[in-house]
Amino acid sequence: MFSYEEIANYHCPRWNDWPDLGLYMDQVTRLLEEYVAGFSPADLSKHVTSTMINNYVKRKIVMPSKNKLYNREHLAHLYILFLLKPVLSLSEICDALTQLTKDSTFPAVYDRFCNAIEQALAQAFYKNGEQKVKIGETDEIMVALSLAFAYSMLTKLYLNKNIILSDK
C-alpha cells in the first residue's frame, strides 16, 4: 500500500499519458497494476487480472478489445473502475460515468476525474491541520466520487496497524 505521503502527492495518469497504441492484455494488466496496486492491501497479490477485465467486457462494462488490442479509452475506463471499485459497486460507477459523459466527451471527463481525485486526496491527506486544496469542481457527482475515494483511502490507512494517527 502507498504511504501517507505517496497518497497525498499521488498523480493520476491523464488521457494523453496513456499509450496511443494497442496493448495486449498482459501489458494492460501490468500497466494498470502499477497505478492502482498501491491503493490496495499489500497482502493482495494481484489487484488487476485478465479475468477481471474479461468479466467487465462480458458484462458490457468495458467495450471489447479490437483484435485483442486495448487502446487509451480502455485503459482510462479500466483505471476508473479499478480505483473506484473498493468504494462503489460497478453499477454505481457505470451510472456515474453515464451521467458525467452526457454533456462532455469521455477524454474530457476522464481528465476532470483525475484532477478531482488528486485534489480530493490532497484534501483528505492535508498536513499540519491546514486544508491545502479545495475541490473547485462544480459537478457534484465528480466531487462525491473523488471525496468518497480519498476518504476511503484515508480510513484504510488509519485502520492499518502500521499507521500512527498522529502522523497527520
- DSSP three-state, residue 58: helix
Asked whether residue 163 carries a pLDDT value surpassing 70, the answer given is no
> CB neighbours of 153 closer than 8 A, spacing ≥ 6?
7, 39, 121, 124
- DSSP three-state, residue 150: helix
Q: b/e per residue, 152-166, with b = 16+ CB within 10 A?
A: bbbebbeeeeebeee
User: pTM of the full predicted structure?
Assistant: 0.85
Residue 135 pLDDT class (50, 70, 90 cuts): low
* Tens-place pLDDT, residues 55-112: 999 999 999 999 999 999 999 999 999 999 989 999 999 999 999 999 999 999 999 9
Residue 133 pLDDT class (50, 70, 90 cuts): low
High-pLDDT (> 70) share of the chain, % = 85
